[in-house]
Amino acid sequence: MIEGVRLKKLRVIPDERGRLMEILRADDELFLKFGQVYMTTTYPGVVKAWHLHKKQTDNVACLVGMIKLALYDPRPDSPTKGEVNQFYLGIHHPLLIQIPPGVYHGWMCVSQEEAVVVNIPTEVYNYDSPDEYRLDPHDNEIPYEWRRRDG
């Protein structure tokens, strides 16, 4: 596992009315601080990658559909420098993935339906000076391919 990445199995509480799923609580061991909460969607087969933050920690959960989330550690002083991690998360595998600063990340929607992703970053988005550094999803130095693996 890439240094600083943490996982939390999400607790789903069903009853006769529906279900409730806790994503991140202030009393969780992995809770750092609150910046904001936002939702983004990804259409089937679409890749949203690669980017990293220098200050912000992301807390990502997929609520609808399924995504394949990939991480790459380029940090020069990290014991996991050069490591790639991949996780499947969403309706069939409810997880929260905590992504530390300096780790490239992105995802691909692998479900037949639009994926709905919630992020709870530790910082508010700064419109004038975003803490966001991007790479092309396919043309880069990261040893990862965004393709479906059939067979």
Closest residue by Cα to residue 91 from 57, 120, 59, 114: 114
Mean pLDDT of the chain: 96
Q: Residue 113 — pLDDT band, cuts 50, 70, 90?
A: very high
Rounded Cα distance, 102 and 54, in Å = 5
**Where are the chain's structural domains?**
6-14+38-134
The DSSP output letter for 55 is S
Rounded Cα distance, 149 and 22, in Å = 32
**Are the C-beta atoms of 147 and 110 separated by less than 8 Å?**
no
Mean pLDDT of the 106-115 span:
98
| Topology, domain 6-14+38-134 | Jelly Rolls (2.60.120)
- 40-65 pLDDT, tens digit each: 999 999 999 999 999 999 999 999 99
Distances (CA, A) of 148 to 21, 38, 39, 78, 122: 29, 27, 25, 29, 32
* pLDDT tops 90 at residue 3: yes
**Are the C-beta atoms of 85 and 4 separated by less than 8 Å?**
no
Closest residue by Cα to residue 131 from 30, 3, 36, 4: 36
**Cα 138 to the center of its chain, rounded Å:** 18
